[in-house]
Amino acid sequence: MKIFLLALVLNLLPLLASAADVELSAEQLGNVQLSTTTVTSREIQPRLALTGMLTADQRKSYRVTPVVEGMVTELLAVENETVRKGQVLARLRSNSLGEAQAAYLEALARFDLARAERRRIEGLWKDGIVAERRWLAVDSEYKSARATLEARRRLLSLAGLPDTQIQALARQPDRLAEFELTSPIDGLVTGVEIESGQLVGAGQVGFHVDDLSSLWAEVRIPVASLAQIKLGTAASVRVQANPEHDYRGRLQSLAGKVEPQSQTLGGRIVVDNPQGQLRPGMYASVTLSGNVYQGLVVPASSVFRVGEQAYVFQVLERGRYRPVAIDIGAVTDDWIPVRSGIAADVEIVSSGVAELKSHWQYQGGA
């Protein structure tokens, strides 16, 4: 029974406190600096403060791998090196590739010969010097050589050779069996998994190259705050390496499943990193701008607390003030949204609240 009565009293404390008005004499009013304002309605854009970690933007991360087996003959890029698109990262030598290149050069020689013969016979055929049967046979040989050459070229393309390297084979026949791993983007080498002299299998990762012009900030969003945000919401990101600078981003996606224990949902923010100051693995303080809505607000300076309960002082008349319990949201630009407890256009104390609270407590209000 005593426990029940104690709980009842504790629950009634905010109501009992709010019922005790503060009365100041003319002399007391002269010793405090009070100013007032009215409860107003305005657009509110809540801000959600989160913590997260920066990761590489997977849309801009690449694994550089050979398509055919080969031996690393020269390693030309190392970890943490900035590279350009098309830059050679390593050179390798492959017997199977050498055989395919030799077959291509053989097909190229046959094609060149067949093309020259076709041009010669075509002129003679048009002049009536050779029979049509001869022209058709030469034309058929030319088409067969062209198809074979295209098939050999396609095999080299599937082996990972770009057209520039394929075209260079005829000029550099001494470099048969050699091929290069090149960077697919402008970026940073974030990992090297091969060494000179190593035999690398087809599809084995040689390099990791990341474009860090944008990163992902991975955050956990409380389920209770999901109604405040939407995809595309603007975000501000700060890191310890440059705490005064705001990096801009957007909420790109939300996870499809809530984490049961923490009741949070994963969120991914794409953060612009034009100067390259951000790095994967950094912890980040993230502020998400919530959905704009119309609601009642009071200045942050007008709100005070007793325990967990928030209050404002309502002006009843000069020298007489009433503490009113209110339900509030998070501070946004020195304004606090009011969910309930007070109406619009009510006059409240906006500064000098701490002194007024002291008088209230002295008079037994708290």
pLDDT score at 17: 45
CA distance 240 to 263: 27
* Domains of the chain, residue spans: 18-44+294-362, 48-59+212-292, 96-175
Q: What is the dihedral of CA 298, 304, 309, 311, to 10 degrees?
A: -50
Identity at 355, one-letter amino acid code: E
Mean pLDDT, to the nearest integer, of 100-124?
91
Q: Is 156 helix (H, G, I), strand (E, B) or coil?
A: helix
Please state which CATH number belongs to domain 48-59+212-292. 2.40.30.170
149-176 mean pLDDT? 83
Residue 198 CA to residue 28 CA, distance in Å, equals 87
Average pLDDT, the chain: 87
Residue with the larger pLDDT of the pair 173 and 17: 173
What is d(CA 333, CA 74) in angstroms, rounded to the nearest whole number? 58
40-95 pLDDT, tens digit per residue, is 888 777 788 899 999 999 999 999 999 889 999 999 999 999 999 999 999 999 88
- CA torsion 287→289→295→300, rounded to 10°? 30
- Which pLDDT belongs to residue 319? 86
State the architecture of 18-44+294-362 in CATH terms: Beta Barrel (2.40)
pTM tops 0.85, yes or no: no
pLDDT at 264: 94
The stretch 306-318 carries a mean pLDDT of 90
Task: Assess whether pLDDT exceeds 50 at residue 223.
Answer: yes
- How much is the pLDDT for 365? 64
Q: What is the pLDDT of residues 238-253, one digit of tens each?
A: 999 888 899 999 999 9
- What does 195-209 look like in DSSP terms, one character per residue? -TT-EE-TT---EEE
pLDDT at residue 33 above 70? yes
